[in-house]
Chains A and B, each alone.
Chain A
C-alpha cells in the first residue's frame, strides 16, 4: 500500500506568486547494494522519476537514483497562475506507478 502526501501552502496565493510544493511518498528505495541475512543480494527497487503537472503543463520532474533516501521527499517552486490541481506521478522499478493530485487555490 503506497501512501503519498502533497503539501501546498495554506496561506492565500495570488496569481504570479511562486509557491514551494512539497511531496513525499512511501517507498523503501532499496538500493540493490544490500544483502539479506542469508547473504543473498536484495534486488534494486527504487522510484526512478517523479513528474509534476500543473495547468496542463509539465512544470517539474526529477530523475532519482539509489542515493535518494527512503520515502522520497521533494520540494520545488511553481508559479501559481490559476486555481486547479497539481498532478504528481511517480514511476519506478517493478512497474511501480502512483498518481496523486492536490488542489492549488489561487485568489486575485
Chain B
C-alpha cells in the first residue's frame, strides 16, 4: 500500500479484498442463528415452544471431523449452577440432516449437581449439530457445531 505505483498493488488489493470477503463470510456462518434444515428448525421449535434461544452458556463438544458416523462422542456442558432455585432442567440435541432431527432430550434436576451430559450419537452425513439447554426459568440457550463425516451412519450397514 505504501507503493501505490507498484505493478503488484492491484493484485495485493484483490487478495486483501478476497480475504476480507472470506472472513466476512465465515463470520456470517458463525453468527447465523439457525443454520438449520427445515426439519431441524421444526424439531427445535417443538422443543423451544417458539422461544428464541440465546447464544451462550452451552458448550457442545464434538469432533469437527469424524471418520465413522456410527458412534460419535458428544458432550454438552452448560455454564449454570444446579441449585433448587435455578438450574438447567433440560438439554436437547438435534441434527440438521439425519433422517430424523431428534437425537435425545436429557432431563436434569438439582440432584444432578452439574449440567454435564455425555453420549454417543449417529451422524448420517456432514452436517450441523445443535445443543439446546432449557433453564428452570424457561430461558433457552444454544450452541451449534458443524461435523464433517467421511463414513455415514443410519442407512448404511
Q: Which residues of A contact B99 (CB under 8 A)?
A: 31, 33, 66
Q: How far is the CA of A70 from the CA of B153 in the complex (A)?
A: 11
Task: Give how many B residues have a beta carbon under 8 Å from the other chain's beta carbons.
Answer: 35
Q: Which residues of B contact A22 (CB under 8 A)?
A: 118
Q: How far is the CA of A84 from the CA of B100 in the complex (A)?
A: 39
Q: How far is the CA of A57 from the CA of B102 in the complex (A)?
A: 27
Q: Which residues of A contact B33 (CB under 8 A)?
A: none
Q: Which residues of A contact B153 (CB under 8 A)?
A: 69
The residue from A20, A59, A61, A67 contacting B122, defined by CB atoms under 8 A apart: A67
**Residue of A60, A61, A72, A76 contacting most chain B CB atoms (<10 Å):** A76
Q: Which residues of A contact B100 (CB under 8 A)?
A: 65-67
The residue from A57, A65, A70 contacting B103, defined by CB atoms under 8 A apart: A65
**Residue of B102, B107, B115, B153 contacting most chain A CB atoms (<10 Å):** B107
Interface residues of A in 31-90 (CB under 8 A from B): 31, 33-34, 54, 57-70, 72-79
B35 contacts chain A at the CB level, 8 A cutoff? no
Q: Which residues of A contact B98 (CB under 8 A)?
A: 66-67
> Are A77 and B122 touching (Cβ within 8 A)?
no
Minimal beta-carbon separation of A81 from chain B (angstroms)? 8
29 of the cross-chain contacts (CB-CB < 8 Å) are A22-B118, A31-B155, A33-B154, A34-B154, A34-B157, A60-B108, A60-B109, A60-B112, A62-B104, A62-B106, A63-B107, A66-B99, A66-B100, A67-B154, A68-B103, A68-B121, A68-B122, A69-B70, A69-B119, A69-B120, A69-B121, A72-B119, A72-B120, A73-B118, A76-B112, A76-B116, A77-B114, A77-B115, A78-B112
